[in-house]
Structure 1
Amino acid sequence: MLRGTQLHAGPGTPGGMWDPSYSITTGLVFGFFKGMSFPLASIAVYNSVVFGVFSNTQRFLSHHRCREPEASPPRVLSDLLLASMVAGVVSVGLGAPVDLIKIRLQMQTQPFQEANLSVKPRVAALGEQPAYQGPVHCITTIVRTEGLTGLYRGASAMLLRDVPGYCLYFIPYVFLSDWITPEAHTSPSPCAVWLAGGMAGAISWGTATPMDVMKSRLQADGVYLNKYKGVLDCISQSYQKEGLKVFFRGITVNAVRGFPMSAAMFLGYELSLQAIRGDHVATSP
Structure 2
Amino acid sequence: MNAKTVPPDTLGYKMHSSTDGPEKILSSASAREDKRVDFLRILFEGAIAGGAAGVVVETALYPIDTIKTRLQAVHGGGKIILKGLYSGLAGNLAGVLPASAIFIGVYEPTKQKLLKTFPENLSALAHLAAGAIGGAASSIVRVPTEVVKQRMQTGQFSSAPDAVRLIVAKEGFKGLYAGYGSFLLRDLPFDAIQFCIYEQLRIGYKLAAQRDLNDPENAIIGAFAGVITGAITTPLDVIKTRLMVQGSAHQYKGVFNCVKTIIREEGTPALLKGMGPRVLWIGIGGSIFFGVLERTKQMLAQRRPMAQSTNSIKLD
TM class by shorter-chain length? 0.7 to 0.9
The Cα of 1:48 is off from its aligned counterpart by 2.4
**Between 183-192 and 172-181, the greater mean CA deviation after superposition:** 183-192
Q: Does 1:46 align with 2:99?
A: yes
Summarize deviations over 1:222-247 as a string: whole Å, max 9, x none.
Answer: 26x22111111111111101111011
Structure 1: stretches of 5+ with no match in the other structure:
17-21, 67-72, 110-131, 280-285
Measured in 1, the distance between the counterparts of 2:217 and 2:204 equals 9
For residue 233 of structure 2, give the secondary structure of its aligned residue in structure 1.
helix
User: How many angstroms does 1:79 deviate by?
Assistant: 1.1
User: 1:78 and 2:131 equivalent?
Assistant: no
- In our comparison, the structure showing a higher alpha carbon Rg is 2
Contact (CA 8 Å) 2:76, 2:266: kept in 1 or not? no
Partner of 1:189: 214
- Tell me which residue corresponds to 2:245: 220
User: Which residue in 1 is equivalent to 2:182?
Assistant: 157
- The alpha carbon displacement at 1:272 in A equals 0.8
* Structure 1 residue aligned with 2:113: 60
1:107 to 154, 166, 179: 154
Q: Percent identity?
A: 25
Query: Is this contact kept in 2: 1:195–1:263, CA < 8 A?
Result: yes
Q: Do the aligned residues in 1 keep the contact of 2:131 with 2:192 (CA within 8 Å)?
A: yes
Q: Which residue of 2 aligns with 1:93?
A: 140
Give yes or no for contact 2:135–2:187 (8 Å, CA) kept in 1: yes
1:113 corresponds to which residue?
none
Paired with 2:125 and 2:155, the residues of 1 have a C-alpha distance of 44
What is the alpha-carbon distance in structure 2 between the residues aligned to residue 185 and residue 264 of structure 1? 24
- Which has the larger helix fraction? 2
Superposed CA offset, 1:21-42 (max 9, x none): x35xxxx4xx222222211333
Match of 1:252 in 2: 276
The Cα of 1:154 is off from its aligned counterpart by: 0.6
Q: 1:184 to 1:75 in 2, by over 3 A?
A: farther
TM-score by length of 1: 0.76
Contact in 2 for aligned 1:168/1:203 (Cα 8 Å): no
The separation in 2 between residues aligned to 1:180 and 1:79, in whole angstroms, is: 18
- Is the CA contact 1:180–1:192 (under 8 Å) kept in the aligned structure 2? no
Aligned to 1:15: 79
**Alignment partner, residue 200 of structure 2:** 175
Contact 2:226 2:279 in 1 (8 A): yes
Cα distance in 2, alignment partners of residues 236 and 184 from structure 1: 48
RMSD: 2.5
Give, as a single letter, the amino acid of the residue that structure 2 aligns with 1:60. Answer: K
Contact 1:39 1:102 in 2 (8 A): yes
Q: TM-score, normalised by structure 2?
A: 0.69
CA displacement at 1:45 relative to structure 2? 2.5
1:200 to partner: Cα distance = 0.6
Change (3 A) 1:263 1:210: same
Superposition misfits of 4+ residues, deviation over 6 angstroms: none
User: What residue ranges of structure 2 are gaps of 5+ in the alignment?
Assistant: 1-53, 59-64, 304-316
